[in-house]
Chain A
Amino acid sequence: LAKTTQPISMDSYEGQEVNITCSHNNIATNDYITWYQQFPSQGPRFIIQGYKTKVTNEVASLFIPADRKSSTLSLPRVSLSDTAVYYCLVGESGTYKYIFGTGTRLKVLA
């Protein structure tokens, strides 16, 4: 099962673009990469998922290079309400087994 590594914390200012990178060197061929957001005392919330290249939805973009050994979550123009912990997960192919990374605590400053 691929282990993920993320920065422990990041600070940003409102209106800036934030990029959070996750390293997953041992990712398997069929594994997908998923990102979740979690606010204090709440359950995680799905943000985005991808397999390769680039995926974009209404809240974020996910960039995955060709070797898939890392991925970058991009949050455009963050606001104070984006202050949360962001988790990168690599899903084990063919099972329901997902291991959360250590998470990145993002603090958005006014």
Chain B
Amino acid sequence: DTEVTQTPKHLVMGMTNKKSLKCEQHMGHRAMYWYKQKAKKPPELMFVYSYEKLSINESVPSRFSPECPNSSLLNLHLHALQPEDSALYLCASSQGQTSHEQYFGPGTRLTVT
């Protein structure tokens, strides 16, 4: 199984809502990532978890809160978002530091109203 799944596919939320994005992989990968991608732009790295510990936080605002409950799951908790946070949120996983091959999920299209 070389698939990374993400739910939901689409999400519309108001600026006062709290929602969560979910990501799952069953490839035994020990690194998991969150990226944000705006239209016609490259993906921007947000967070990296390595062995279930937060390894990289690219100065992401605190209204985005990542969580890695176990080695297969990655969540992104959203609270008090702004309209400019509307984007495609991509989850990815990789074997580890020696492999630069990341497997991406299909993304969650988020719209903040």
CA distance A89 to B106 in the complex (A): 19
Q: Which of A34, A42, A95, A103 contacts B56 (CB 8 A)?
A: A95
The answer on a CB contact under 8 Å between B104 and A89 is no
The answer on a CB contact under 8 Å between B102 and A46 is yes
Q: Which residues of A contact B88 (CB under 8 A)?
A: 41
| Closest chain B CB from A72 CB (angstroms) | 18
The answer on a CB contact under 8 Å between A34 and B100 is yes
- Give residues 1-49 of B contacting A (CB, 8 Å): 4, 31, 33, 42-45, 48
CA distance A102 to B90 in the complex (A): 17
- Give residues 79-107 of A contacting B (CB, 8 Å): 87, 89, 91, 94-103
Q: Which residues of B contact A49 (CB under 8 A)?
A: 100-101
- The range of chain B's interface size is 20 to 34
- The range of chain A's interface size is 20 to 34
B interface, by DSSP: helix, strand, loop or mixed?
strand
Of chain B, the residue at the smallest CB distance from A44 is B104
The answer on a CB contact under 8 Å between A32 and B106 is no
Interface assignment of B107: CB less than 8 Å from any CB of chain A: yes
| Closest chain A CB from B82 CB (angstroms) | 22
The answer on a CB contact under 8 Å between A103 and B107 is no
Q: Which residues of B contact A101 (CB under 8 A)?
A: 42
Between-chain CB contacts (< 8 Å), 11 pairs: A32-B100, A44-B43, A46-B102, A49-B101, A95-B97, A96-B48, A96-B56, A97-B48, A100-B42, A100-B44, A102-B42
Interface assignment of A45: CB less than 8 Å from any CB of chain B: yes
Q: Which residues of A contact B90 (CB under 8 A)?
A: 43-44
The answer on a CB contact under 8 Å between B105 and A96 is no
| Closest chain A CB from B110 CB (angstroms) | 13
CA distance A91 to B107 in the complex (A): 22
The answer on a CB contact under 8 Å between B104 and A97 is no
The answer on a CB contact under 8 Å between B50 and A96 is yes
Q: Which residues of A contact B31 (CB under 8 A)?
A: 96
The answer on a CB contact under 8 Å between A103 and B42 is yes
